[in-house]
């Protein structure tokens, strides 16, 4: 067996038998995570509010022989969480991974930030992850390898003019992750944060002049698959002693 095929074997089996729920899983990074995790052997519940995109994704990946199931889930709705988690319980009796990836963004100077927009953004980017952890915990406790991955951002570490709600929300999510890591460690549930730099997805289509690219040492945005690789690592037993930390995947942005 050469090195390439050995690596392929690891990929094919690392998450075999795992059940993972990915929010914001219909498009962008979430869709890529669903693809990568299922390719590594997981059963993936991809959840989103974009039902057409989600159903199309599940159909596409299903045709590749991957086990990806799409469900409608508004992460801001506790009852919707209860309903999806009940379905996962009925199907598998446990959950091994939760990826809180759903997120929204808007750009407004701090002086003009509307309260309604601020609250709506926090409801998805922060409260959505809290509700997800609360809903999934009973099932995660039944797993031998439970892991939660929260998707924050370099904008949760630095400030960016115009992005007050987004930056504050990603900073809050990073803090939430640390508390969860500490509280859930006795249950052997690991909780980590991914800190992506710029990633090419529909989210940053509005950015002029390449957004963070000029300040990114590697000189480009990430491909979604490069973030998915980090998510897969954190969910896998390769990260069995990794909890409460931030995995920065930013092309060197924060090292400047
Ligand atoms: N694109 C980037 O440059 C970048 C950089 C750093 C972090 N992030 C973060 O990565 C994550 C994924 O974003 P993306 O880049 O794939 O953008 P995206 O807009 O393509 O994907 C976000 C997904 O979240 C879903 N979503 C929004 N509100 C929801 C809700 N209430 N319930 C369920 N799903 C909801 C959207 O429908 C969408 O499918 C987000 O948390 C984002 O903040 C993105």
> How is the chain split into domains, by residue range?
3-255
What's the 62 CA to ligand 1 centre distance in angstroms?
Answer: 23
Closest-lying ligand 1 atom to the alpha carbon of residue 155: 6
Superfamily name and number for 3-255 = NAD(P)-binding Rossmann-like Domain (3.40.50.720)
- Tell me what pLDDT residue 8 has: 47
Q: What average pLDDT does the structure give for the chain?
A: 95
Q: Is the CB of 165 under 6 A from ligand 1?
A: no
pLDDT value at 5 more than 80: no
The protein residue whose alpha carbon is closest to atom 20 in ligand 1 is 28
Confidence of residue 3 (pLDDT cuts 50, 70, 90): very low
Contact 140, 189 (CB under 8 A): yes
Residue 216 backbone class (left: φ over 0; alpha: ψ -120 to 50; beta: rest): beta
Q: For residue 48, how far is its CA from the centre of ligand 1 (angstroms)? A: 10
Residue 4 Cα to ligand 1 midpoint, Å, equals 32
Confidence of residue 7 (pLDDT cuts 50, 70, 90): very low
Atom of ligand 1 nearest to the CA of 26: 39
As a whole number of angstroms, the distance between CA 74 and CA 72 comes to 7
Supply the residue whose CA is at minimum distance from atom 19 of ligand 1. Answer: 203
Whether 159 has a pLDDT exceeding 70, the answer reads: yes
Band the pLDDT of 193: cuts 50, 70, 90.
very high
The mean pLDDT of 51-65, rounded to a whole number, is 98
The residue with tokens 């944060």 is 193
3-state secondary structure of 197: coil
Strand partners, 219: none
**Cβ of residue 137 lying under 6 Å from some atom of ligand 1:** no
pLDDT in tens, 222-246: 999 999 999 999 999 999 999 999 9
Mean pLDDT of 240-254: 98
Atom index in ligand 1 nearest the CA of residue 227 equals 10
From 84, 172, 190, 179, select the one nearest 136 (Cα to Cα). 84
Active site residue 145: no
pLDDT for the residue numbered 12: 62
Stretch 201-217: mean pLDDT:
87
For the sheet containing 190-196, what is the strand order?
Answer: 68-72, 43-48, 19-23, 97-100, 147-151, 190-196, 246-249
* CA of residue 24 to ligand 1 center, whole Å: 6
* Cα 226 to averaged position of ligand 1 atoms, centre (Å): 15
Share of the chain above pLDDT 90, in %: 92
**CB-ligand 1 contact for 243 (6 Å cutoff):** no
- The Cα–Cα gap between 151 and 138 comes to 22
The confidence score (pLDDT) of residue 210 equals 82
User: Over the range 102-112, which residues count as b (16 or more CB within 10 Å of their CB) and which as e?
Assistant: bbbbbeeeeee
Task: State residue 4's pLDDT score.
Answer: 40
Candidate from 22, 27, 29, 83 with most ligand 1 atoms within 8 A of CB, to mutate: 29
Distance, in Å, from the CA atom of 77 to the CA atom of 128, rounded to the nearest integer, reads: 8
């Amino acid at each position: 067996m050469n090195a390439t095929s050995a690596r392929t074997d690891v990929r094919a089996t690392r998450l075999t038998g795992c059940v993972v729920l990915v929010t914001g899983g219909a498009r962008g990074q979430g869709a890529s995570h669903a693809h990568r995790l299922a390719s590594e052997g997981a059963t993936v519940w991809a959840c989103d509010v974009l039902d057409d995109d989600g159903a199309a994704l599940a159909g596409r990946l299903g045709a590749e022989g991957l086990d990806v199931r799409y469900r409608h889930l508004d992460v801001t709705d506790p009852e919707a969480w209860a309903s999806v988690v009940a379905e996962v319980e009925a199907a598998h009796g446990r959950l091994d991974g939760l990826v809180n990836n759903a997120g929204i963004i808007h750009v407004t100077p701090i002086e003009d930030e509307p309260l309604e927009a601020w609250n709506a953004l926090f409801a998805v980017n922060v409260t959505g992850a809290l509700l997800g952890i609360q809903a999934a915990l009973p099932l995660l406790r039944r797993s031998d390898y439970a892991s939660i991955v929260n998707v924050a951002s370099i904008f949760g570490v630095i400030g960016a003019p115009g992005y007050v709600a987004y930056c504050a929300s990603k900073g809050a999510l990073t803090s939430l992750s640390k508390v969860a890591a500490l509280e859930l460690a006795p249950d052997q549930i690991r909780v980590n944060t991914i800190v992506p730099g710029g990633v090419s997805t529909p989210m940053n289509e509005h950015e002029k002049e390449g957004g963070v690219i000029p300040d990114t040492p590697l000189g480009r945005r990430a491909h979604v698959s490069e973030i998915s690789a980090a998510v897969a690592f954190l969910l896998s037993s390769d990260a069995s002693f990794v909890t409460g930390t931030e995995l920065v995947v930013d092309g060197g942005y924060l090292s400047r």
